[in-house]
Amino acid sequence: MVKTLPKVDVVTVGVGWTGGIIAAECAKAGLKVVGLERGQKRGTSDYQQIHDEYRYAIRYDLMQDLSRETITFRNNRKMKALPMRQLGSFLLGEGLGGSGTHWNGQTFRFLPYDFQIKTMTEKKYGKNKLSADYLIQDWGLTYDELEPYFDTFEKTTGISGDGKNKHGGKRSNPYPTPAMKTTPLLKKFEKASGKLGYSPYMMPSANLSEPYKNPDGEQINACQYCGFCERFGCEYGAKTSPEITVVPTATKTGNFEPRFHANVVEVVKKGNKVTGVKYIDTISGEEFIQPADVVVLTSYVMNNAKLLMVSNIGEMYDPTTGKGTLGRNYCYQILPGASGFFDEQYNTFMGAGALGMCFDDLNGDNFDHSDLKFIHGANVALTQTGTRPIGTNPILPDTPTWGAEFKKQSIENFTRSLGVGGQGASMPHKENYLSLDNVYKDSYGVPLLQMTYNFTDQDKALHKHISKKCGDILKEMGAKTVVVNSDLDQYNIVPYQSTHNTGGTVMSLTPEEGVVNNYLQHWDVDNLFVVGAGNFSNNSGYNPTGTVGALSYRCAEGIIKYSKKGGSLA
C-alpha cells in the first residue's frame, strides 16, 4: 500500500551540493522543502576516527551500495552490457552530503570557452575541425551570465585561492580566503613550469587556508594538512562540504526537512506537470508518494538521467537516428600525465585534497590547435594530496607487482616519486551515451541505467600531447627517471580514474538541443528541474564541482521565480 504524504512546495531528490543549495535558497525564500536522501544522516562528529585507509579508501565505506543499485556498462553497441558489481572507474557517493563529503575540494570555474565551445571553435578553426560524430554544442549560457553564481558559490564555500590565473574568466571579486601553503614541492613545480613558459598559480581549494564564516553564518575551519581528503569526510570541518554549510543553513529556517533512507524510484507525472515523487523507505520497505509543486532532481549524473527515463519524461537519445536528447552527450575525463623518480626525499605523506600548483596554458583554447587533431586540453598540476601507504606503491615499469622487488621499490620511492598530470577535457561523441538496460534491474525492480562509452580519437590525441608536456616538466624538475603515461586504448571501467562524469541531461538554448533550459527547468515539464554535471554538454579540463555549484544557484533562482509566476523561464 503506497502512502501519500502532505504536499510541500519543493521536493529534492538527493541532499548533496545541488540538493543542499536548492534547499537552502528555497527555504530562505519561505518555501517548504523536503530533501529525500537514500543514504544515512552524517556529520563531522561521525568522522573522528575516519583515518582508516582500508575502510574508506580501499573498501569505499562512504560510497554507494552496488548490491542495491548499480549501472551496466559496455564499450560499444555490439557488446553485451554487464553490471558493475563493485566500484571501479568512478566512486558514487551516498548519504548526507553525497560526493561532496568525500571529494578533494579542487574548485575551479569552467573557462568561457567551455560555454560557447561550438561557436568559438568554428570561428577560429572552421566547421570541420572535428567530425560530425562529435556532438559539441554551446551551453545556452555564457561564462559572464554564470559569473555571479560562481561568486556566490565561492563565498558560501570560502574557497582559498590566489587569483593569479591569467587564462580564467573575469572575476567580480577575489577569492574569499588566501591560497593554501606553497610547499617546497609546489615551489619546485612552479619554478620548472615557469621556466618552460607556463603561468602557474595555486589551485583554488575548498580545504581552507584559514577559518572562515560564510555569508549564511556557517563556520568553516582551517585545514590541518592531514592528507585524508579524497574518499574521507573531514573531522575538522575544514573541507567545505554540504553538511557544514548549505544543509545547516536550510535547516535553521524551519522550512526544510531532510528525510533519510528514502530512495526515489519514480517522478510522478500527470498531463504536462509532475505532481511529486514515489520513494521507498530502504529500511522498512514502505512506499510513499511525496507530492510537491516543484520537483528537483539533485542526485548524481546517472541517477538524474535514470529517473527521467523510467518516468517516461523526455525523448531518449537514439544513436542510430540521432534523435532525442535524454542520455546524449555523456562525457568522462581523461588523465594524461607522467611520473618522476627522484634521488632526494620529499614530504609527500602530508597534504590536502586541493593542495596544488597548476596552470591553464594547455587548457581550453589557450594554445593553438591548428595543427593538432583535437580541441580543448587540460589543467596541468602537481598536487600534494597526501600519499597513503596501502594505495601508494610507486614502482618503475617492468617491476613485478608483488614480491621482494616490489616491496623494495615501493618503500624506496614512497617519498621519492612525484606525478604531474592533467585533467583532460572530454568531448561528446554520438556513440557515447546513457540509456536503460533491458535485462538487469535494481533491488526495487527498476531497470538499471546502461552506459555505452569508449575513448575516442579526440581523447587519444589530447592524452598523448598533454602527457608529453607533463614529462617535460618533470625533466625540468630534475627527475632521474621520467615515465610518461601510456597511450590510451580501450576504456576500462575496472580501475579508478575519475568521478567526473557529465552529460545525459544537457542544458541548451532550444528544446531540440537539450533536456533543460538555462535555469535547469525541463523543456517539456515546467515544474520539473534537473541540476548537476549532467547539464554539461561537454566536460572541461577541470573538476566539475565549482560549475555544478554555480548552476545550482542559478537553478534555485529559477525555482523561486517559478513559485511566484509559473510558466517557462526560458
Q: What does the DSSP assignment read for 490-518?
A: S--SSS------B-SS-B-SSTTT-SB-T
From CA 154, how far away is CA 548, in angstroms rounded?
12
Task: Give the distance, in angstroms, between the CA of residue 528 and the centroid of all CA atoms in the same chain.
Answer: 22
Amino acid at 179: A
The C-alpha cell at 51 is 583515518
From CA 147, how far away is CA 168, in angstroms rounded?
11
Query: Is the Cβ–Cβ distance between 92 and 64 less than 8 Å?
Result: yes
Query: Is the Cβ–Cβ distance between 476 and 100 less than 8 Å?
Result: no
Return the closest-CA partner of residue 326 out of 132, 165, 506. 506
Query: Is the Cβ–Cβ distance between 518 and 344 less than 8 Å?
Result: no
Pairing of strands 8-13, 33-37: parallel
291 burial (CB, 10 Å; 0-12 / 13-18 / 19+) is middle
Helices (H), 29-142: 53, 99-102, 112-115, 117-125
151: left (phi over 0), alpha (psi -120 to 50) or beta: alpha
Query: Is the Cβ–Cβ distance between 123 and 516 less than 8 Å?
Result: no
Measured in residues, the chain has a length of 570
From CA 37, how far away is CA 218, in angstroms rounded?
22
Out of 102, 376, 463, 500, pick the active-site residue.
500
DSSP-derived letter for residue 138 is: -
The C-alpha cell at 529 is 528541474
Packed helices 545-565 and 17-28: angle between N→C axes, nearest 10 degrees: 30
Q: Return the number of other C-beta atoms located less than 10 Å from residue 19's C-beta.
A: 33
Return the closest-CA partner of residue 543 out of 118, 135, 106. 106
> Which residues have C-beta within 8 Å of that of residue 509, sequence separation ≥ 6?
138, 140, 518
119 phi and psi angles, rounded to 5 deg: -60, -45
386: left (phi over 0), alpha (psi -120 to 50) or beta: left
CA separation, residue 207 to residues 33, 187, 453 (Å) = 29, 19, 33
CA separation, residue 273 to residues 6, 373, 512, 513, 529 (Å) = 18, 45, 20, 21, 12
- Whether residue 500 lies in the annotated active site: yes
Amino acid at 326: L
Helices (H), 391-544: 404-413, 457-477
From CA 119, how far away is CA 373, in angstroms rounded?
18
| Catalytic residue numbers, as ranges | 500
